[in-house]
């Protein structure tokens, strides 16, 4: 016979807290700094007699992944992802029952 257990989560005042503004601010600032560094690198190469090398194109290519990741982070956090959520607005305590995983073995 499978035993059922339950876990209860009580709503607490800290559940209304969020770090979304700090996350959005940090991601935005660091993305702008990364793009600015690459742009300044290309401007420095174009203002001198030095030609663009493989390292310049690799750093431009390497900027694409973090920029896409930061765009996804901004998109998910602007939709309130990352906030702690209260278990239920009507009930301060929410319980979930689960079975004993190893009872069948």
* 85 or 46: which leads in pLDDT: 46
Span 56-72, pLDDT tens digits: 999 999 999 988 998 88
Q: 45: which 2 tokens?
A: 């190469």
Alpha helices in the chain (DSSP H): 20-47, 54-78
What sign does the dihedral 85-15-95-105 (CA atoms) show?
A: positive
pTM of the entire predicted model: 0.60
For 3-27, the pLDDT digits (tens) are 666 666 665 556 556 777 888 888 8
């Amino acid at each position: 016979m499978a035993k059922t257990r339950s876990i209860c989560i009580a709503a607490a005042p800290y559940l209304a807290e969020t770090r979304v503004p700090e996350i959005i601010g940090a991601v935005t600032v660091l993305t702008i700094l990364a793009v600015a560094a690459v742009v300044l690198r290309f401007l420095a190469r174009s203002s001198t007699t030095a030609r663009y090398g493989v390292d310049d194109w690799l750093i431009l290519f390497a900027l694409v992944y973090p920029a896409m990741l930061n765009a996804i982070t901004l998109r998910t956090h602007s939709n309130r992802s990352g906030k702690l959520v209260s278990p239920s607005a009507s009930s301060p305590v929410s319980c979930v029952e689960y079975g004993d995983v190893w009872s069948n073995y």
